[in-house]
Amino acid sequence: MAMESVLKAYAAYYCHSDICGRKLVQKIENYSHHIDKILKKCSDYLPHENKQECEKLCDELVKLPVGLRYRLDVMDFMDTNEDLYYSTIGSDDWMFSLKDHIVRITKHIGNELSKESRIVSGEELWGEIQRPRYS
């Protein structure tokens, strides 16, 4: 779900910056859960050093049923796709690799978005409130 979300952020920011509001939301919703379609649309905007790994991870994610991205009930999938399960979501190394990659590309799009007019996060606002004031 995190990979899908961050790729949708890339698509919204880089590929559909000419539209906004309800039209933008509908455009992004039209991608549904098709990570491969979202990636194809926005891969040119991914940081160069992360692009190849992102494509590899997305190729693996596309092989998994969408439901596995959103719930832990995987017993039926494991029974029929044991090799794929243990080479992807059943592997701690693969899951950590996926998480680390998502963190990297999320930071990149976050930095890009921070250049725009934006809504301040609660954490950022709290940090600003806690900052010492000088007269």
Tell me: pLDDT of 73 over 60: no
Query: What does pTM read for this prediction?
Result: 0.67
Residue 67 pLDDT: 75
- The torsion angles phi and psi of 121, rounded to 5 degrees, stand at -75, 160
Least Cα distance to 69 among 54, 58, 80, 53 occurs for 58
pLDDT digits over 87-108, tens only?
998 899 999 999 999 999 999 9
The residue ranges of every structural domain in the chain are: 2-115
Percent share of the chain, pLDDT over 70: 91
Tell me: pLDDT of 72 over 70: no
Residue 132 pLDDT: 83
The rounded distance, in Å, linking the Cα atoms of 118 and 4 is 22
The rounded distance, in Å, linking the Cα atoms of 65 and 42 is 22
